[in-house]
Structure 1
Amino acid sequence: MQENYNSTIHFVTGNDELDLQLLNIEISTAYLDILSTILGIISEKKPNNYY
Protein backbone atom coordinates (compact mmCIF):
# COMPACT_ATOMS: atom_id res chain seq x y z
CA MET A 1 0.00 0.00 0.00
CA GLN A 2 1.45 3.34 -1.06
CA GLU A 3 1.02 6.24 1.36
CA ASN A 4 1.31 9.88 0.42
CA TYR A 5 3.25 11.73 3.08
CA ASN A 6 3.36 15.50 3.30
CA SER A 7 6.23 16.52 5.56
CA THR A 8 4.41 19.70 6.57
CA ILE A 9 1.29 18.03 7.92
CA HIS A 10 2.16 15.60 10.68
CA PHE A 11 -1.39 14.74 11.72
CA VAL A 12 -3.60 13.81 8.78
CA THR A 13 -7.08 13.24 10.18
CA GLY A 14 -9.11 12.71 7.02
CA ASN A 15 -11.17 15.77 7.94
CA ASP A 16 -10.21 18.53 5.48
CA GLU A 17 -11.28 21.39 7.75
CA LEU A 18 -9.38 19.99 10.73
CA ASP A 19 -6.32 19.26 8.57
CA LEU A 20 -6.36 22.88 7.37
CA GLN A 21 -6.58 24.16 10.94
CA LEU A 22 -3.68 21.93 11.98
CA LEU A 23 -1.65 23.16 9.00
CA ASN A 24 -2.35 26.77 10.00
CA ILE A 25 -1.16 26.01 13.53
CA GLU A 26 2.05 24.45 12.17
CA ILE A 27 2.68 27.47 9.93
CA SER A 28 2.12 29.84 12.86
CA THR A 29 4.50 27.79 14.97
CA ALA A 30 7.12 27.92 12.21
CA TYR A 31 6.83 31.73 12.07
CA LEU A 32 7.29 31.92 15.85
CA ASP A 33 10.34 29.66 15.64
CA ILE A 34 11.87 31.85 12.93
CA LEU A 35 11.14 35.03 14.90
CA SER A 36 12.61 33.50 18.05
CA THR A 37 15.76 32.50 16.15
CA ILE A 38 16.15 35.99 14.67
CA LEU A 39 15.69 37.63 18.08
CA GLY A 40 18.21 35.20 19.57
CA ILE A 41 20.78 36.08 16.92
CA ILE A 42 20.18 39.81 17.44
CA SER A 43 20.54 39.51 21.21
CA GLU A 44 23.80 37.58 20.85
CA LYS A 45 25.32 40.18 18.53
CA LYS A 46 24.10 43.22 20.48
CA PRO A 47 26.77 44.53 22.88
CA ASN A 48 25.90 44.56 26.56
CA ASN A 49 26.32 48.19 27.64
CA TYR A 50 24.13 48.05 30.74
CA TYR A 51 25.73 49.28 33.94
Structure 2
Amino acid sequence: MTNITSDDINAFEFAQNHRDILWNLAKHGTLIEKAMAKAYLELYGGQK
Protein backbone atom coordinates (compact mmCIF):
# COMPACT_ATOMS: atom_id res chain seq x y z
CA MET A 1 0.00 0.00 0.00
CA THR A 2 1.36 3.39 -0.95
CA ASN A 3 1.44 6.34 1.38
CA ILE A 4 -0.88 9.19 0.48
CA THR A 5 0.51 12.67 0.96
CA SER A 6 -1.04 16.09 0.55
CA ASP A 7 0.71 16.28 -2.83
CA ASP A 8 -1.43 13.36 -4.04
CA ILE A 9 -4.77 14.97 -3.17
CA ASN A 10 -6.27 17.81 -5.19
CA ALA A 11 -8.63 19.67 -2.87
CA PHE A 12 -10.74 21.03 -5.72
CA GLU A 13 -11.30 17.55 -7.18
CA PHE A 14 -12.05 16.18 -3.72
CA ALA A 15 -14.68 18.86 -3.11
CA GLN A 16 -16.34 18.14 -6.45
CA ASN A 17 -16.19 14.35 -6.12
CA HIS A 18 -17.44 14.31 -2.52
CA ARG A 19 -19.81 17.27 -2.62
CA ASP A 20 -22.77 15.23 -1.33
CA ILE A 21 -20.84 14.01 1.70
CA LEU A 22 -19.62 17.52 2.50
CA TRP A 23 -23.14 18.98 2.15
CA ASN A 24 -24.52 16.23 4.40
CA LEU A 25 -21.90 17.01 7.05
CA ALA A 26 -22.57 20.74 6.69
CA LYS A 27 -26.25 20.15 7.41
CA HIS A 28 -26.32 17.24 9.86
CA GLY A 29 -22.88 16.89 11.43
CA THR A 30 -21.63 17.95 14.82
CA LEU A 31 -20.77 21.63 15.25
CA ILE A 32 -17.13 21.10 14.26
CA GLU A 33 -18.09 18.89 11.28
CA LYS A 34 -20.55 21.54 10.09
CA ALA A 35 -17.97 24.30 10.36
CA MET A 36 -15.23 22.29 8.65
CA ALA A 37 -17.48 21.08 5.81
CA LYS A 38 -18.83 24.58 5.16
CA ALA A 39 -15.33 26.05 5.15
CA TYR A 40 -14.07 23.34 2.81
CA LEU A 41 -16.94 23.94 0.40
CA GLU A 42 -16.36 27.70 0.49
CA LEU A 43 -12.61 27.38 -0.08
CA TYR A 44 -12.57 24.67 -2.71
CA GLY A 45 -15.96 24.89 -4.40
CA GLY A 46 -18.43 22.11 -4.71
CA GLN A 47 -21.46 24.37 -4.29
CA LYS A 48 -24.68 23.04 -5.71
TM-score range, shorter chain: 0.3 to 0.5
User: Larger % of helix: which?
Assistant: 2
TM-score, length-normalised on structure 2? 0.36
TM-score, length-normalised on structure 1? 0.34
Structure whose alpha-carbon radius of gyration is higher: 1
* Larger relative contact order (CA 8 Å, sep ≥ 6): 2
